[in-house]
Amino acid sequence: MKTWIALFRGINVGGNRVLPMKSLVAALESNGCTDVRTYVQSGNAVFRSAASQAARLAASIRRAVGERHGFEPGVLVLAPAELQRALADNPFARAAAEPTSVHLFFLVEAPRRPDLEALNAAKAAREAFALAGKVFYLHTPDGFGRSKLAARVERCLGVEATARNLRTVSALVELTRSAHGSA
């Protein structure tokens, strides 16, 4: 059994696509996942599964939620090492004192033709970003919700993504370590 992290996209936002964490746990368990633990209501889960391919596991989880709740959310499944590496490679370590000002966008795939010029044009004066493979890092010292750049990331990169702040990513890394060893 391998440890995995599932990042759900677009659930429990503004009363839409509601997926209570108890229901999420049940959907994961019905899909053969064990030792399921969730973190906050925005759709973060750490679990164990016999599955060996993240993309297939994500598709299976998406279908399981769809069968139970009538919608298929975006799901990105990562191995603990991917999350740990993303955390370790954070280019905005100085901002760690304000962990909600740094967001990591986990990308479905590495962008083939990212429009960095458009990203730079959307960037506010105090914002900064970096792209490293399948992770886009965004530092928003004036607030993520106010960032025009944050709203344009997917369009400019040309790939689907789901974002988590540094606090959440750190908590998920700790959850994988405490609940499932360093798997």
Q: Which of 78, 106, 140 is the last residue of a domain?
A: 78
Question: Which residues share a beta bridge with 48?
Answer: 3, 34
Instruction: Indicate the pairing of strand 74-78 with strand 34-38.
Output: unpaired
Residue 134 belongs to a domain with what CATH number?
3.30.70
SS3 165: strand
The confidence score (pLDDT) of residue 77 equals 97
The confidence score (pLDDT) of residue 14 equals 61
Does this model's pTM top 0.95? no
69 shares its domain with 94: no
The confidence score (pLDDT) of residue 118 equals 97
Residue 11 belongs to a domain with what CATH number?
3.30.70.1280
The confidence score (pLDDT) of residue 29 equals 93
Q: Is position 72 within any domain? A: yes
The confidence score (pLDDT) of residue 140 equals 96
Q: Which of 78, 111, 141 is the last residue of a domain?
A: 78
In tens, the pLDDT along 83-123 reads 999 999 999 988 888 989 999 999 999 999 999 999 999 99
73 shares its domain with 101: no
Give the E-state strand segments of the chain in sequence order.
2-9, 34-38, 44-49, 74-78, 102-107, 128-132, 135-139, 161-165
The confidence score (pLDDT) of residue 183 equals 46
Q: Is position 182 within any domain? A: no
Q: Is position 181 within any domain? A: no
The confidence score (pLDDT) of residue 10 equals 76
60 shares its domain with 126: no
pLDDT digit string (tens) for the chain, length 183 residues:
999 999 998 776 666 677 888 988 998 998 899 999 999 877 899 999 999 999 999 999 999 888 888 888 889 999 999 999 999 999 998 888 898 999 999 999 999 999 999 999 999 999 999 999 999 999 999 999 899 999 999 999 999 999 999 999 999 999 998 865 544
Query: Which residue range is the domain that position 74 belongs to?
Result: 2-78
Q: Is position 177 within any domain? A: no
Q: Which of 78, 105, 135 is the last residue of a domain?
A: 78
14 shares its domain with 74: yes
104 shares its domain with 166: yes
CA dist., res. 82 & res. 112, Å (int)? 20
Domains of the chain: total: 2
